[in-house]
Amino acid sequence: MKGGTKLKRLRLGVFASGRGSNFEAIVKNIKRGSLSADVKLLITNNQEAGALRIAKRNGIDFVIISKKDFKTRDCFVEAILSVLEAHRVDFIALAGYMKKVPAEVISRYRNRIVNIHPALLPAFGGRGMYGKHVHQAVLDMGCKVTGVTVHIVDEIYDHGPIVAQRCVAVKEGDTPETLAARVLRVEHELYSQAIQLFAEGRVEFVGGKVVIRE
């Protein structure tokens, strides 16, 4: 922590749809003491998500909320907001969440929702650009460098202000799988580091961009 900054312990809500490796990395970094936060809630849309097993192992409350299980969109949105409020969540991290976050949730948590993307945005972002699709697109374009981006979530896919980025070299002979494995290792480090910046009160928004205060 930089001198003069006030450390806050974040009350995290994590949204995940899949295996939850970034969710698990966040939990591990909290236990190591490198991330000033507590995960208060996991929200998933997938009852088979590996993230659920991680939540159970670590005694983290979880809820399965899928839009298809609600009669109306309003009921779906209210279910998300209600459970976040009940757990007093003050910051949200998307960790492989495969659904678009409702605009009402974004509005309630404006500039307090982050996502991690396995490419250097704004390249290789947007609808359909997730997982192996991103890495295949990087390889198809012949890129020599790819990377990881942590960004603020707004109403557009992969669009909000960038909080942090880190490059990952593309190697000769890479496949989507080998590239994904190297990128994922960086994701597990960078995501917690970026969230920690918020805990330290070092993130400012100036002219639609994120500025990290020293």
| Catalytic residue IDs | 117
- Cβ-contact 214, 2 below 8 angstroms: yes
Q: Under 8 Å CB-to-CB from 113, ≥6 apart: which residues?
A: 91, 92, 93, 94, 101, 105, 106, 152, 153
Angle between the N-to-C axes of helices 21-32 and 176-199, in degrees from 0 to 180, rounded to the nearest 10: 40
- CB atoms inside a 10 Å sphere around CB 30: 20
- Cβ-contact 156, 127 below 8 angstroms: no
The DSSP code sequence of 165-186 is EEEEEPPTT--HHHHHHHHHHH
- CB atoms inside a 10 Å sphere around CB 80: 20
